[in-house]
Amino acid sequence: MENIDLVIILTTAFLGSFGHCIGMCGGIVVAYSSSKIDQTSSHLTQTLSHLSYNFGRVATYSMIGALFGLLGQAIAFTPTTKGILFLLTGLLMLLAGLSLLGKFKFLNSAEFSFSKYAWFQNSFRSLLKSKSYRSFFLLGMLNGIIPCGLVYSFAIMAAATASPLWGAIVMATFGLATIPALFFLGTVTKFLQKGSLRGSMMKAAALLVVFYALFTMYKGYNFVANPDKMQAMMDDMRETPKSGKCGGMKCAPGKCG
């Protein structure tokens, strides 16, 4: 992973949370806020309850990311296959981004709902009855498996890392970036639900997904066209010399004291 990747992921998720997550998960936030949180309780108690719920979501997203990263690792065992993985994930991300822009219903056709199953409904109702921090955390984990276009997009990014660790980091970054919108939903609901604002942020996030898709496909092309060169670059990036004051590099006279 490169710094630009994490910056794009963080920015896309933050914008997408206002454009998509408010509509997708806003109902759940309102539901647990009205039934599980006592408005007369201290501000600290209410804050910890909201954070428990959101960190539950992040935990589920991280596990999904690790799973997709492991899947990518199984596929990308040579530079060429890694390049093919980049090309395929870039294509899927491009389709996802165009779908988020409303150009066609690629994501809608791929989504399925867990909420129709009895085990999900029973678990959801049971967790709404409890007011413990653990119940908020578990409710967040349950919410994390609800199909979502943005989750699909970032899961594909996680697969492209070809690493369970980086896949988990990608999805954890996504989850953390969506917390502000959902955390403050209760106090600024009307503002965040304005159609023009949500629409603009959703378009911005979708365009970033498209940009990252093209960037990923470009990296895939380089891996397929120049596998040896790209592998050498990756090997150089993994090297982290630590000896000496100049980080293992040959010191210029007088520069290292």
Whole-number pLDDT of residue 6: 76
State the pLDDT confidence band at 188, using cuts at 50, 70 and 90: very low
Q: 216 lies in a domain?
A: yes
Which residue type does 164 have?
Answer: P
Domain count of the fold of the chain: 1
Q: 249 lies in a domain?
A: no
Q: 253 lies in a domain?
A: no
Q: 231 lies in a domain?
A: yes
Q: 234 lies in a domain?
A: yes
Q: 29 lies in a domain?
A: yes
Whole-number pLDDT of residue 79: 77
Q: 245 lies in a domain?
A: no
User: Which domain, by its residues, includes 214?
Assistant: 3-238
- Nearest CA to 69 among 212, 148, 151, 168? 168
pLDDT per residue as tens digits for the range 80-92 = 877 888 888 778 7
pLDDT per residue as tens digits for the range 11-39 = 877 777 765 666 566 667 777 777 787 77
- CA 14 distance to own-chain centroid: 10
- Nearest CA to 185 among 57, 50, 41? 50
